[in-house]
Amino acid sequence: MSIDVLPFELLCKVIESCHIGTVSRCVLVCSSFKEAALPSLYKTITLKTFRNSESGEGLKSLRNSESGEGLNFGALQTLDKYPYLRSYVRDVRFFFLLSDYVRRTRNTKVNSDPKAREHLWVSSLAKLPNITSYTFCSSPPQYQSRFLPIPHELIELMASALVACDSLREVNLLYRATAADIARLSRLRNVRSVHLGLPSNEVIAAVGNWIEKCESFSIRDAYAVDSLATIQPYVSNLSVLHLGPHHALTHRNILQLLECTNKLQQLDIFYDNFLNVQLVWIDAVISSSPLTSLSLLSDDGKECAFPFPLISLLAKKTQLEFLNIPQVVFARHPCEFCLSCWWISCKVCLSYGYYS
């Protein structure tokens, strides 16, 4: 069958299933492939700061020469050139490199005139109707354990562009956010999933009312969760909870926290010395919540070489589909573990430790 007579929607679906590198090469094949590949290429777009002041990337029209900001929003330029692609964008990732921003603005006078601070990219971003996820990140992907600030004016501009986007469901704040940023972003009324990187105590306090409206909440590094009262009042509606390492909750605190989460379907939790205490809280969660996914991760790196008490607790959860227990070590053949997991359906995904 000739490419010219292949239904366009079918060609789009075929290309969408390919690796992103293959999709990129499809653009160069012919005009039909280019038209079919562009929607997949623009499903995720990246906005970022310039790497240096001499960079020729991006649009001069998307730069504010008054304030000295260097923004590489070339993806928005392409979307303005090909408006039909706007409806395909689902995921927007904004990378703000603080060092580049400081280098560009150190000796530049900032114009405080509100009209001079208007950016053309704000209206371009506001024209994307189907964004479902937006990520604010202060470091490139290879350094995402670093959490640095992003200027408040950029957060305000992006929030104003996104406030009318009814499809936006997920916001990832992988930078050093402030309580003022949370106030700005909580105006995004349809967001149901919030992911924090390394929040401060003031951010945890400010985000509480937002969490109450959400179904999913995640903290990558939970240093600021220093007591049960920090998050317990806000988690009752969650179906997904990820509590990262370095929190100060004891096993008793965790039990009290999870008693409030009878809608919980996915639980990812780090716990210091969790494999050397009674797992009563796991038993309670399994009994009271409709869990289908469970990850138990050791905060202190300790391993559990006696897995079967834990397995006997998990055996009560017949609808479990995903189980991640990398610090639970099976000293004998993995078949022993498989036999002990006979109750789990064949679609379960397992991750566990193993010593030969």
pLDDT in tens, the chain (356 residues): 555 666 767 767 776 777 777 766 767 677 767 777 778 788 999 998 754 433 333 333 333 333 334 566 888 988 999 899 999 999 999 988 765 555 444 444 444 444 444 578 899 999 999 999 999 998 765 555 678 889 999 999 999 999 999 999 999 999 999 999 999 999 999 999 999 999 999 999 999 999 999 999 999 999 999 999 999 999 999 999 999 999 988 878 888 888 888 889 999 988 776 555 566 677 777 777 788 898 888 887 777 766 777 777 777 777 888 888 887 776 655 555 555 554 444 344 555 555 44
Residues 6+ apart with CB under 8 A from 332: none
Domain boundaries, the chain: 1-41, 42-293
> Which of 172, 178, 177, 179 lies closest to 193 in space, CA to CA?
172
* Tokens at 81, concatenated: 């050139």
Task: Please check whether residue 204 is in contact with residue 231, taking contact to mean a CB–CB distance below 8 angstroms.
Answer: yes
* Tokens at 266, concatenated: 């996915």
- Helix (H) / strand (E) containing 113: none
Task: Please check whether residue 157 is in contact with residue 169, taking contact to mean a CB–CB distance below 8 angstroms.
Answer: no
> Which of 247, 302, 232, 305 lies closest to 274 in space, CA to CA?
302
Say what the pTM is. Answer: 0.79
3-class DSSP state of 172 = strand
Single-letter code of the amino acid located at 14: V
Single-letter code of the amino acid located at 200: S
Give phi and psi for 26, each to the nearest 5: -60, -30
- pLDDT of 3: 59
3-class DSSP state of 324 = strand
Task: Please check whether residue 95 is in contact with residue 47, taking contact to mean a CB–CB distance below 8 angstroms.
Answer: yes
- pLDDT of 305: 66
Give phi and psi for 105, each to the nearest 5: -105, -5
CA-based end-to-end distance of the chain:
53
3-state helix, strand, coil in the chain (%, to 5): 40, 20, 45
In this structure, how many other beta carbons lie within 10 angstroms of the beta carbon of residue 106?
8
> Which of 332, 227, 344 lies closest to 294 in space, CA to CA?
344
Rounded CA-CA distance 204/211 in Å is 10
- pLDDT of 7: 72
CA distances to 134, 218, 227, 241, 271 from 264, rounded to whole Å, are: 24, 13, 21, 7, 18
